Structure 1
């Protein structure tokens, strides 16, 4: 009692807090765009692409370089000229011992075969591609935040429903307690009301925890915690019209950023291929230089007019370079870019098909969601009215506690009674003849007599033959997770893809694991080198010991030197053992690092179909966090309900025949594998003493599905073939 009252108080406090302020989906999206790491990474990629454009355009602009040098020689440079007929030579000074050289070089590319322009256009396409990628990241962020936002709203509605059910259960408990004290109802009603109240309290706690977890998911998607005092604003009534398939498909193909990113990547590839082909074309450059050289041979630092003594030089020229033989390097680059272009084109086509599939699925989900939304309001109103009617009838003594606990059954019974009363009233108003009334009365008495005879002579239990019931097809769902944590690098499968055993379905970034493997290999090599060094030392110590023994026999050494050699040999042997242990330890560390590195790749444990992608590339996952769900359809489970009057005839190993509505003439054979030990819901309820509840047990069978015709969630007609021994026992009992 204290717990559910505390829950009521918490709910009222939350309702008061919601009146202060609220938070819309647009505000959550604005916060996510400000704080999401993926957006910041995309912005940095766009900025890097813009700098690449400036770098490519710089190749088209003229360049100007300034250089300077200073040299001090031990003497001035001189030239010696021999004079014929003279015993001495003539020495002429050609420069100064000090030399200052300052030069300015200007260069402009006149012709590059279109390479520089192609590189600029390729950089511009790369920038557009990164911008499209940024739009895709924003679209993914909007999708994740919106999903989490609506999950919070759905959890809040579930909490409201749980609160309403808790209030109803508390009112019914008080009513049943009052009726039990007045003697108008059995004590079982009050006990069951207490049980119902405890169940509603538990459901309320679960609903509140579901809200908390949903808000945690939303804050994780946004990147920052939200103000708990600000509730989320529910969206308005959705538009009830759906776009045409062709219009939606055209809009999807025009608006999806990944398709435009592929288009920009194809243009970038084409421009880079053109630049690679231009590498075979001649390159024409215009160069001009202004140079200062001082001092001259007269040690003058500035001379502009005297020929031969000027301290400046001006010259210009045109240079042409053209590759004649490059060993096939340019051709290989062109071939690689063309192959990359073909791969991009194939990926573009695959993305186009993926977009078409996503649009079709989205339209189908939209139609279903709108249909469900239209029926929700009337269905909820009807359920509430049935509950209120049952409670009012229970208070007035016209309904039982069963009607309150099971609103649907009570409503159905009430309608039947009302129909019987209306039929009698209509007959009186229509003036039915007395003879007809007598015939109807005799017919009713006959039917009642038959039912009494059936009640007195019936036997509940298995009477023989096969058991026919209804079940549900269930695939075996396996959630795959990594044994190590990290950032998802790629997920090469999509929802709906069929995978084979051992197929790669995911990969995480493994740079740190590669570093660990390399470090382990280096440690192993170091330990092996240390072991080799220790073994060499051991061999030397053994030789020294043997030499000391020979010298000791001839009294050429002392016992102390012999003992020292023996100790050195023992130490060297111990070092060898230590080195061998270190090598084994390093080998184990390398094996462990390589094993951890192998965990970076996630492979399918068996064949199946990808039913759900839980995480996308770029997201951080921890060890053991499921990243995708694999539905194994080669063998499916069938869960069938069998009531307790016939469950005793079912044994594990019994054959079953399964039919589904899609293939109504095809039977799928299988075998019973398990019979649920505890009963589930009751197929017939009666809280009085006239009859007892007939409960239902779940029978599980496995059915081979090699052609994968049976789908998860299908409704199936199940025939359980009872063994001849059990059928014989049933006949003997009868």
Structure 2
């Protein structure tokens, strides 16, 4: 008994749904296109096309200060965010071993200098004796060779002493530029070792009033970007503000990740208030094209497709390339534009019109050619229908 009731209920519901669908279809067919579809008038205006990507804010010059000698940090003169001048002491390393080496080199210079004085005196004595024929020429030449060897040893000892003095001065790490300390990676008492790779001790941003953005753009967009183009960008720290910049350089070194090729586009910008900080994420938009007084068609109209059962839809008009382009002044761009189809209401029926398109801002597209005119209304969507046969934004409820 229960099974029979269930089957009866299902049958009633199926009949009700079929009847409701048929009724709704009849109501739609009875409506005029102006009631059934959402229409929007074609207008002229300005349109701007942009390409977007994410990037990172960096100082124009970021100097990694390292050390050429090893040692233990004994003094720290600067910390994070400190302003420093060129030549200012940043930190000092323990110089005990290097100071001892410098003293040893200085003593060696004095020792070799004394040996040179003796060699010169011997040479002078040999010359006097050779003139009196008391010594042979060979003995004279040996004294000359001894003097020259002592001179070379003295030059070598002085060079070693100079090297040790330079290494001793390197125990005081000084700033190579004027700027702001953005990172300090060593602490007091830490031992640093200078081997084949110079360790980084402190990072200094030379000037935070001028910064740059390193962003990655896909290869599909890179052909539209040129040096000097205007850039707008935002950062998460100030979502309500928009900042300006300029394309400085398109780096020719591509990066490939998961078969996606990107190029680094460097953007230069001014930061006079120092509110933009290194490391911030920037959401970059580059203006690649702009048109004024262009004929604009909504992108929703290009996406619209009439229902297949619509009896009032006319066949698509033929290709309009080369018909003079009532859509704009940019005939030079016609060959590079894409084509699309929009629908207009003509004598109570939908008429499909082919148009040739230019740039787009993802909301509207520029019309370069076609039969569209200013003020003509295109279909951008379909209205919902109520039981009263009037357009409504609320869908029909069966139960």
CA contact (8 A) 1:637 1:700 kept: no
User: Alpha-carbon deviation of 1:586?
Assistant: 0.8
User: Alpha-carbon deviation of 1:491?
Assistant: 1.6
Q: Choose the corresponding residue for 1:604, options 175, 178, 181.
A: 175
CA contact (8 A) 1:464 1:730 kept: no
CA contact (8 A) 2:214 2:267 kept: no
Work out the CA distance in 2 between the residues paired with 1:642 and 1:439: 51
User: Alpha-carbon deviation of 1:595?
Assistant: 1.9
CA contact (8 A) 2:234 2:283 kept: yes
User: Alpha-carbon deviation of 1:720?
Assistant: 3.3
User: Alpha-carbon deviation of 1:728?
Assistant: 10
Q: Choose the corresponding residue for 1:642, options 217, 227, 239.
A: 217
Work out the CA distance in 2 between the residues paired with 1:608 and 1:622: 26
**Residue in structure 1 matched with residue 186 of structure 2 by the alignment:** 615
**Residue in structure 1 matched with residue 149 of structure 2 by the alignment:** 578
User: Alpha-carbon deviation of 1:637?
Assistant: 3.3
1:523 aligns with 2:108: yes
CA contact (8 A) 1:464 1:731 kept: no
Cα deviation, 1:665-697, whole Å, max 9, x if unaligned, reads 552345124155234468xxxxxxxxxxxx462
**Residue in structure 2 matched with residue 628 of structure 1 by the alignment:** 202
TM-score (norm: length of structure 1): 0.31
**Residue in structure 1 matched with residue 160 of structure 2 by the alignment:** 589
Note closer, same or farther for the CA distance 1:731–1:709 as it changes in structure 2 (3 Å cut). farther
Work out the CA distance in 2 between the residues paired with 1:565 and 1:477: 69
Cα deviation, 1:298-327, whole Å, max 9, x if unaligned, reads xxxxxxxxxxxxxxxxxxxxxxxxxxxxxx
Give the aligned CA root-mean-square deviation in angstroms: 4.0
Work out the CA distance in 2 between the residues paired with 1:490 and 1:628: 14
1:671 aligns with 2:255: no
CA contact (8 A) 1:654 1:721 kept: no
**Residue in structure 2 matched with residue 80 of structure 1 by the alignment:** none
**Residue in structure 2 matched with residue 733 of structure 1 by the alignment:** 336
> What SS class does the counterpart of residue 265 from structure 2 fall into?
strand
**Residue in structure 2 matched with residue 540 of structure 1 by the alignment:** 125
**Residue in structure 2 matched with residue 720 of structure 1 by the alignment:** 286
Note closer, same or farther for the CA distance 1:674–1:730 as it changes in structure 2 (3 Å cut). farther
Note closer, same or farther for the CA distance 1:640–1:495 as it changes in structure 2 (3 Å cut). same
> What SS class does the counterpart of residue 667 from structure 1 fall into?
strand
Work out the CA distance in 2 between the residues paired with 1:676 and 1:728: 35
> What SS class does the counterpart of residue 677 from structure 1 fall into?
strand
Which runs of 5 or more residues in structure 1 are unaligned? Answer: 1-428, 451-462, 549-560, 683-694
> What SS class does the counterpart of residue 571 from structure 1 fall into?
helix
> What SS class does the counterpart of residue 254 from structure 2 fall into?
coil
> What SS class does the counterpart of residue 132 from structure 2 fall into?
helix
User: Alpha-carbon deviation of 1:494?
Assistant: 0.8
TM-score (norm: length of structure 2): 0.54
> What SS class does the counterpart of residue 512 from structure 1 fall into?
helix
The structure richer in helix per residue is 1
Note closer, same or farther for the CA distance 1:615–1:546 as it changes in structure 2 (3 Å cut). same
1:660 aligns with 2:226: no
**Residue in structure 1 matched with residue 389 of structure 2 by the alignment:** none
User: Alpha-carbon deviation of 1:536?
Assistant: 1.7
Note closer, same or farther for the CA distance 1:503–1:433 as it changes in structure 2 (3 Å cut). farther
**Residue in structure 1 matched with residue 91 of structure 2 by the alignment:** 506
Q: Choose the corresponding residue for 1:697, options 262, 271, 287.
A: 262
Work out the CA distance in 1 between the residues paired with 2:84 and 2:48: 44
CA contact (8 A) 2:251 2:265 kept: yes
Cα deviation, 1:43-71, whole Å, max 9, x if unaligned, reads xxxxxxxxxxxxxxxxxxxxxxxxxxxxx
- Please list, as runs of the form range in 1=range in 2, the aligned pairs for 1:163-562 lying within 5 A after superposition: 434=21, 437-438=24-25, 465-475=49-59, 477-548=62-133, 561=134
User: Alpha-carbon deviation of 1:440?
Assistant: 11
User: Alpha-carbon deviation of 1:644?
Assistant: 3.4
Note closer, same or farther for the CA distance 1:435–1:486 as it changes in structure 2 (3 Å cut). same
Cα deviation, 1:438-470, whole Å, max 9, x if unaligned, reads 49999xxx9xxx9xxxxxxxxxxxx99553444
> What SS class does the counterpart of residue 649 from structure 1 fall into?
coil
User: Alpha-carbon deviation of 1:654?
Assistant: 4.1
Equivalenced residues, count: 260
CA contact (8 A) 2:245 2:267 kept: no
Cα deviation, 1:536-580, whole Å, max 9, x if unaligned, reads 2211211121222xxxxxxxxxxxx4xx34233212111110111
> What SS class does the counterpart of residue 189 from structure 2 fall into?
coil
Note closer, same or farther for the CA distance 1:440–1:546 as it changes in structure 2 (3 Å cut). farther
The structure richer in strand per residue is 2
Which runs of 5 or more residues in structure 2 are unaligned? Answer: 1-15, 38-46, 291-329, 338-399
Work out the CA distance in 2 between the residues paired with 1:619 and 1:665: 44
Higher RCO structure, 1 or 2 (CA under 8 Å, sep 6+): 2
Note closer, same or farther for the CA distance 1:633–1:731 as it changes in structure 2 (3 Å cut). farther
Note closer, same or farther for the CA distance 1:434–1:483 as it changes in structure 2 (3 Å cut). same
Larger radius of gyration: 1
> What SS class does the counterpart of residue 480 from structure 1 fall into?
strand
Note closer, same or farther for the CA distance 1:702–1:588 as it changes in structure 2 (3 Å cut). farther
Cα deviation, 1:133-181, whole Å, max 9, x if unaligned, reads xxxxxxxxxxxxxxxxxxxxxxxxxxxxxxxxxxxxxxxxxxxxxxxxx
> What SS class does the counterpart of residue 152 from structure 2 fall into?
helix
